[in-house]
A and B are shown apart, each in its own frame.
Chain A
Amino acid sequence: MAAVRRRTMLKGVGGMAALGVSALALTRFDTPDREQDPEKCFAEDVSDTQKRLVISNWVEYIDEDDGDYVSTLTQFERDTGIDVRYTADVNDNNEFFAKVSNQLGSCSSSKRDLFALTDWMAARMIQVGWIQKLDAANVPNLHANIIDSLKAPAWDPKREYSAPWQSGLTGIAYNKAKVGEIKSFEELLTRKDLKGRISMLTEMQDTMGLMLMVAGVSPDDFTDDEWQNAIDRLRKARDDGQVRSFTGNSYVQDLAAGNIVACEAWSGDIANSGDENLVWIPPEEGIMIWADNMLVPNLATHQANAERWIDYYYQPEVAAKLAAYNSYICPVKGAQEAMEEVDPEQVENDLIFPSSETLAKTRRFMALDEAKMRDYQKDFADVTSS
C-alpha cells in the first residue's frame, strides 16, 4: 500500500513540476519591440573593397538582356565593375515585410543592400527605424531629377531615406477577345457575364481605394462608416461568387489563360505581357496612384554601391530605357525628352508620362497610423482570405 501511495505521490509531484516548468517556459516566448535606431544599428560600408550589391525587387520590374539589347543592369555592371545580385523576390508588401521583420526588427542583417516597397510600407519601415539615411552627396541626380509629384511625400518630405523606383496606376484590365468593353470598376462587381471570372489585388490600398471610389468616396479622406460600407460591398461580391480570387502579381497568367476575363490590374503589367487582346483602362470612378521606393536597410554592407545604383537610374537616358521596357510611370524629369532617342513611339505613352488629365483623376490612399492600419488590414483580410 505504502509503495503504491508513494508512486502515486511521485507521479503527482512529477506532473505538477512538468506543468510548472511548462508554464514558465510559455512566458519565455514573448516577442520584443521591433523598433530600431538606424544611427546605432548599421554596418561598416565595404563598398570600396567589395564591389557587390544585393537587391530585392518586384517581379518583372526591370529590363533584361535580349540579343543585341544591353539591359540597364548590365550597363551598370560594365560602367562600375559592381557585381549586382538582383532577385525578384518581392511579390506582396506584407509578405516581404514578414520575410525581413525578424532580422531588421532585432538589428541583424537582412543580407540585402537595397529593396523596393510601396509608399505605405516604405513609410512604416522608415518610421520604425529599419532604414538607413542616404548620403545626399552620393545621389545628386535623385534630388535634381525627381519629378515634382514625388518630391515630397509626407512620410519622407526631403527624400532622405527613399528613392522611387517606378510609380504606377491601379485600374482595370480585361481580355477584349473574351468580353465586351468595360468602363467602370462597378461593372466588375455587378456584371453577370463577369461572375466568377474577375480577380482583385491583395494590396489593401489599391483594392479598397477603388471600392471607396465606386461608392463616390475619396480614398484620401474617408470615415469609418464609409470604410465599413465599402468592406461590406466587397464581402458581398465575394459571397456572391463574383470575385474568383485575390492575387498578387500572378493575375497576368490567369488573364492570359482565360481563367479570368477582367481584373483589377497595375498599369505596366498588361503592356508588358505582350498579349494584344489584353487592355488596361483607367476606371471611370478614378485611378489609384502609388510608387515603389528603393530603401537601404540597416546593416546593409554596400550602401555606397546602392547609392551609385540609385544615382545611375536617375539619369534621364537610363530612366527612359527602363520605362520603355516597364511601361510604368517614370519618376525622372527629362526622361520624356530622352525617350525621343530611346523609343520615339513611347514619348506619348500615357502610362509612362501621364497627361495632366490622367493625373487629375488619380487618388492616393489616406495616411494611416499603425493601429488604424492594423484594423483596416484585418477587415480587408477577413474578406480576402476567409
Chain B
Amino acid sequence: MTSTAGVPPVSTHDTTAVKPRGRKLTGYWLILPGAIWLGLFFVIPFYSLVSASLYDPAGSVLTGYEMTWHVANFADAIGQYKVQIGRSLLYAGSATALCLVIGYVLAYAIAFKSGRWKNLMLVLVIAPFFTSFLLRTLSWKLILADDGWVVDTAQALHLTNVLNLIGLTSTDDRLLATPFAVIAGLTYNFLPFMVLPLYASLEKVDIRLIEASSDLYASPIRGFFKVTFPLSLPGVVAGTLLTFIPAAGDYINAELLGDTNTRMVGNVIQNLFTAQGDYAAAGALSVTLMVIIVGAVLVYVRTAGTEELV
C-alpha cells in the first residue's frame, strides 16, 4: 500500500537525477569499444614487441626467450642492418616524392578540371583496390619480365642506359630485380593513399581565392604557389604520411620486384622472425624502425605547421 503511493514521486526524482549523470557517462561508454580495441590490438602487442627487443639473444624459439633488458640488441641490429634501414628510407622517400608529383597532378585534375567525370575518375583511383595487393604486384613481375615488350621497348629507346647511369638499374639492361622496379612498385601501390587526401584538400579550396589572386595580377604559377598549394598543405602532409610510413616498412615489393641487393628492412625483419626465429634482433629492428618513423613524422609535422591533418 505504501509502495503504490510512494512509487511515482521516487521515479520522477530518479529520472531528473540520473539524466545529467547518464549523459556524462555516455561519453565514456562510447570510448569503451575503441579503448578495448586499442588495448587488445595496440597496447598489448606494443609491449610484447618492446619486450621482444630486449630479449636475451642467447634464447631460441625452442628453448624460450627471456626478457633481460638486453639493450645491446639495438646496437647490434642497427650496426648489422644499417644499410637496409637506409635503403628503406631512401626507397620510401623516393616513392613518396614520386607519388606527390604524380598524385598532385591527378588530384588537381580531378578536383578542378574533371567536370562531370569527377565521380568516375575517383572510382578509377580506387579501382585497383578491387584486386589484391599481392596479385597486382605479381602482375608487375609479368609486365617487367626480362623478355617482355616493356623491357625491349625501354632498351630500344635507350631508357635502360639512362637508368643505368643514375644507378637505378644494373648494367645488364633489365628492369625487374632492380631498385627501379622496387621504387616503381612502391609508387604504384601507394599512389591512391596520396591522391585521396590531396583531392579532399583541393576540393575544399575556395575557387574565388584563386580568382582573386589573378585579379591581383598574380601569374597562374605564382597564384598556384601563393594560394592553391598552401591551402592544400593538410592534404600534402596527410598524403605523404600515408605513403611514406607504410612504404618504409613494406617488404612485398622488394620481395617480388627486387633482387638480393635491394632488400629493405621489412624483408630483414620478416626473415629474422620466421626463418631464423631470432626474436631479439627482429624485435630490436622493428622498434628501431618505429622510433625512426615516429621521430621523422614529428619533425615533419612540426615543420609543415599543420596540426589538423585533413
Contact = CB atoms under 8 A, between A and B. Distances in A.
B47 A26 contact: yes
A238 B177 CA distance: 13
B172 A22 contact: no
B308 interface: no
B211 interface: no
Given A33-B64, A105-B62, A245 B259 contact: yes
A29 B271 contact: no
A32 B64 contact: yes
Contacts, number: 124
Interface string B115-126: 000000000000
B52 interface: yes
A384 interface: yes
Nearest to B279: A31
Interface in B25-62: 47-48, 50-52, 54-55, 59-62
A258 interface: yes
A89 interface: no
A377 B84 contact: no
Interface residues of A, number: 44
B61 A34 contact: yes
A30 B147 contact: no
| Interface size class of chain B, counting residues whose CB lies under 8 Å from the partner chain | 35 or more
Given A30-B51, A238-B261, A245-B260, 10 more contacts: A27-B67, A30-B66, A31-B59, A31-B65, A94-B274, A238-B260, A241-B170, A244-B259, A384-B271, A386-B263
A98 B273 contact: yes
A319 B282 CA distance: 43
Interface in B152-201: 170, 172, 174, 176-177
A22 B51 contact: no
B60 A370 contact: yes
Contacts of B60: 370, 374
A74 interface: no
Contact of B260 (A32, A35, A244): A244
Contacts of A345: none
Contacts of B66: 30
A22 B63 CA distance: 25
B145 interface: yes
A241 B277 CA distance: 27
B278 A257 contact: no
B177 A196 contact: yes
Contact of A245 (B51, B177, B279): B177
A20 B271 CA distance: 33
B283 to A, nearest CB: 10
A136 B301 CA distance: 68
Interface string B52-89: 10110001111111110000000000001101100000
Contact of A385 (B59, B145, B147, B267): B267
B309 interface: no
A372 interface: no
B62 to A, nearest CB: 5
Nearest to B269: A385
A34 B64 contact: yes
B245 to A, nearest CB: 22
A26 B142 contact: no
B276 interface: yes
B233 interface: no
B242 interface: no
A196 B145 contact: no
B261 A98 contact: no
B91 to A, nearest CB: 15
Interface of A: 22, 25-35, 92, 94-95, 97-98, 101, 105, 124, 128, 195-197, 202, 238-239, 241, 243-246, 257-259, 370, 374, 377-378, 381-382, 384-386
A381 B276 contact: yes
29 contacts: A25-B47, A25-B51, A26-B47, A26-B54, A26-B67, A29-B67, A30-B67, A34-B62, A34-B63, A98-B274, A124-B62, A195-B172, A196-B174, A241-B170, A241-B259, A257-B142, A257-B146, A259-B141, A259-B145, A259-B147, A374-B60, A377-B275, A381-B271, A381-B272, A385-B268, A385-B271, A385-B275, A386-B80, A386-B263
A258 B260 CA distance: 18
B275 A29 contact: no
A98 B177 CA distance: 27
B260 A259 contact: no
B260 A98 contact: no
A27 B261 CA distance: 37
B286 to A, nearest CB: 14
Given A95-B274, A385-B267, A386-B84, A128 B174 contact: no
Contacts of B273: 98
A41 to B, nearest CB: 15
A28 B51 CA distance: 8
B47 A384 contact: no
A61 B62 CA distance: 29
Contacts of B63: 33-35, 370
Given A27-B51, A29-B48, A377-B276, A243 B260 contact: yes
A154 to B, nearest CB: 19
B271 A257 contact: no
Contacts of A386: 80-81, 83-84, 263, 267-268, 271
Given A28-B51, A257-B145, A378 B259 contact: no
A203 B177 CA distance: 21
A154 B81 CA distance: 38
A258 B146 contact: yes
A241 B261 contact: yes
Contacts of B52: 29
Contacts of B177: 196, 244-245, 259
9 closest A-B pairs by CB: A29-B51, A385-B271, A98-B274, A258-B147, A94-B275, A33-B64, A31-B65, A26-B51, A29-B48
Nearest to A237: B260
Contact of B62 (A30, A95, A370): A370
Given A258-B145, A385-B263, A26 B50 contact: yes
Contacts of B272: 381
B64 A30 contact: yes
